[in-house]
Structure 1
Amino acid sequence: MREMNYFIVGDVHGCYYTLKKLLQNWDSDRQKLIFVGDYINKGKHSRKVVELVRELQYRYPGTVCIKGNHEYEMVRYIEDGTKNSDIKENFRNTLMDYDLRNKYRDDVKWMKRLPLYYDDGDIYVTHAGVNWLGLRKFKENSSWCVLRYRGRLKRMSRLQVFGHTPTESKRPEFNKKSNAINIDSGAGNFDNMSAVLIDDAGKIRKIYTEQIRKEDYH
């Protein structure tokens, strides 16, 4: 049986051209593709990012797309019919070019259905990480939830992979104490976008980091 490693992509935030460059490192025959969420907002190309990610899910059915807090909030805005004046600025900017209220309503349904975690016994992937107490980790409106937690993480027997909080180094950072790697290298701040290659035993093998391309924010 052919080994299947993992190629896990950090926060994207509408940076379509950078994502395409990063994905050139992915071997679709030997690596399971996983995204940690936050596909939309901040960068200029949220619609193109979602279109690409959904296409990859279709072409490679094993692809895993985790829900991020930006997808969660966008679904709430659309489903609640929130007035534009009450919507956060970067969500408002996204909606100017990406008509999720009407034309792309199916993308809203997709965002709503996204899972909060992936766990196969070798790796555990969420958007923001599991809080050290394990409290309310799947309660979507809680600050302890894997959608938006920031703080000390629960140590697991398997490697934990997450994003959400940009690292200070602007590269993925492994924390030995919590056996976890943060792969948000600041795409939302137009710094870098990263991916990590992990083998089928849950060991980190390689890190890929791309500087955000100007086409994604100018």
Structure 2
Amino acid sequence: MPHLIWLAQRPLYWENEAVFVSHAGLANTPNPLDEDDQDGVLWRRGPLRNIGRLQIVGHTPTQDCRPAFDAAHQALYLDTGAYMGNCLTGVKLTADGEVLEYIAVDTHRTDISFR
């Protein structure tokens, strides 16, 4: 439960001049920062808008369960399917968006919610 409280206090996104980090990314939608917009920063699935800096997102698992970079949209997709039992992936990078390292942590079976 303490983790949920901590998560609820986090900002909707994080950014600097070179990087924009969010759950699902910014697309060509009128209100991308509206938390209830199904095409917004929390729920977007599909191509992202090129915002002139690196976008780092999760939410939509990559096809091969590995991090994927979309050069046309400057988007780094990190959802490697942890909810399906694959690893949880993060990235370590410089302030200007240079990828230094990918970090993969195996998913423990008790972390997966079966419906």
TM-score grouping bracket, smaller chain normalisation? 0.7 to 0.9
Instruction: Confirm or deny: 8 A CA contact 1:134 1:154 kept in the other structure.
Output: no
Match of 1:203 among 88, 98, 113: 98
Percent identity, aligned pairs only, is 27
1:121 lines up with 2:5 in the alignment: no
Task: Return the TM-score normalized by structure 2.
Answer: 0.85
Instruction: Confirm or deny: 8 A CA contact 2:58 2:78 kept in the other structure.
Output: yes
1:169 lines up with 2:50 in the alignment: no
Match of 1:153 among 42, 45, 48: 48
Deviation at 1:134, TM superposition (A): 4.3
Instruction: Confirm or deny: 8 A CA contact 1:171 1:192 kept in the other structure.
Output: no
Instruction: Confirm or deny: 8 A CA contact 2:83 2:112 kept in the other structure.
Output: no
Deviation at 1:162, TM superposition (A): 0.6
Instruction: Confirm or deny: 8 A CA contact 1:194 1:207 kept in the other structure.
Output: yes
Which structure has the highest strand share of the two?
2
Task: Return the TM-score normalized by structure 1.
Answer: 0.47
Which structure has the highest helix share of the two?
1
Deviates more, 1:166-175 or 1:201-210: 201-210
Distance in 2, matches of 1:192 and 1:161, equals 17
**Which ranges of structure 1 fall in alignment gaps of 5 or more residues?**
1-46, 52-106
Deviation per CA, 1:69-114: give whole Å up to 9, x if none: xxxxxxxxxxxxxxxxxxxxxxxxxxxxxxxxxxxxxx29x61x43
Matched ranges for 1:184-203 at <5 A: 184-203=79-98
Distance in 2, matches of 1:182 and 1:115, equals 20
**Which one has the largest radius of gyration?**
1
**Which ranges of structure 2 fall in alignment gaps of 5 or more residues?**
none
